[in-house]
Structure 1
Amino acid sequence: MAHITSKYAIIVAGGKGLRMGADIPKQFLPVGGKPVLMHTISRFHAYDKDLKVILVLPKTQQAYWQELCEQYHFDEDYQLADGGASRFQSCKNGISMIPTDAVGLVAIHDGVRPFVSCDTISRCFDTAETAKAVIPVLPVTDTLRFIGDSLSGRNVQRSDYKTVQTPQVFDIQLIKKAYEQEESTDFTDDASVVERLGQVVTMVEGNRENIKITTPFDLKVAEVLLEL
């Protein structure tokens, strides 16, 4: 197999924080004394200090982010890309920052998942060297009920399902080709975009702490996780 020459991480942070009920977007809310997004970027550099990080932020939030970086003396290296009208467009903008002829792998990660472990990141990258498309997953622990058109629904086997996390890691040329497709409501994550090309997606184990911070309750959980 060809030697992987480039490794990137695209961190997508376009949320408006509506479910949080806060005046500022959730990726900027402080956890453990600094904004969520700074924790997230630091996790990827903890995995590999030479990893090329691309941060995708809406233009309207970039000035505020720069103020936060100055305030918290945050000087980790990254490139900045403009967020789009949808997550698909934001990811596409981030991917476009990677050179056309780049050979290697890229992780795409939610900016509000600051507790992804280095082990999870490593598993995704290592597996993607041969698998080309990798997602971290966890077993479902709750009982699931399928509703469909029924009022009462029916129970389904939770062993048939997994919860999906990020980072999702892909061969660079594969993901570039995938994002040349037209946007579709069927695209629920980056893996679903590459699957449209017929690419098989490989699952690896995620980590339970890798929560997505979207509600005030999640913020309280995040404070506890930082103390572990």
Structure 2
Amino acid sequence: MVEPADVTETRAAYDLVAEDYADLLRDELTGSEYDRAMLGVFAEQIARAGGGLVGDLGCGPGRIAGYLSRLGMDVAGVDLSPRMVEVARRDHPGARFEVGSMAALPFADAELAGALAWYSIIHTPEERQGDLFAEFARVVRPGGVMLLAFQVGDDVVRITHAYGHDVELSARRQDPDRVRVRLVDAGFTPTADLIRSPVPPEKVRQGYLMARRDG
């Protein structure tokens, strides 16, 4: 099967920026009480249900996986970019990391107690997002928790410079109502959502959506 051009493009861009991306966002969570609050609820709900393996899908340099690991969670991160995974393994030894695609996750059916896609659905075209969410549903066990974070909007942004490098990359802002419908169609029941105002240098509102796997 021929890899979609946008997937090849995304891998190349993140391989290029991996070190600078990690350095720039290393302490980002310390200044974002909303991020920490949503991750805290996510962690608490999984612990209340008995715990288990959590997947950080599109984990980048592992900052969210590392944070959850420090909260005592068992975390496995997956990312398309080999360079991002190298950085994640170096910087966050408390979690496991593997190179892989969100469209074909390296987990068995219902293996995960929960999963999050933290600003990682944004590079998947609209026409493939239904399949992407179905893959999320495949790996999360019934009763498991799914958490998404994304930029709010309905447009595609073409990125040509990021983290000090010239790149070619598209990012898709997400309509929260459309995301919610896709979750339901995939077999999740939305349980909470939060839309917050942008905090500079952010330019648009930020969205978080939490759901529980049906069954």
* TM superposition score category, shorter chain reference: 0.3 to 0.5
> Which has the higher Rg, Structure 1 or Structure 2?
1
- Considering fraction of residues, name the structure with more strand: 2
- Considering fraction of residues, name the structure with more helix: 2
The alignment's TM-score, normalised by the length of structure 2, stands at: 0.36
The alignment's TM-score, normalised by the length of structure 1, stands at: 0.34
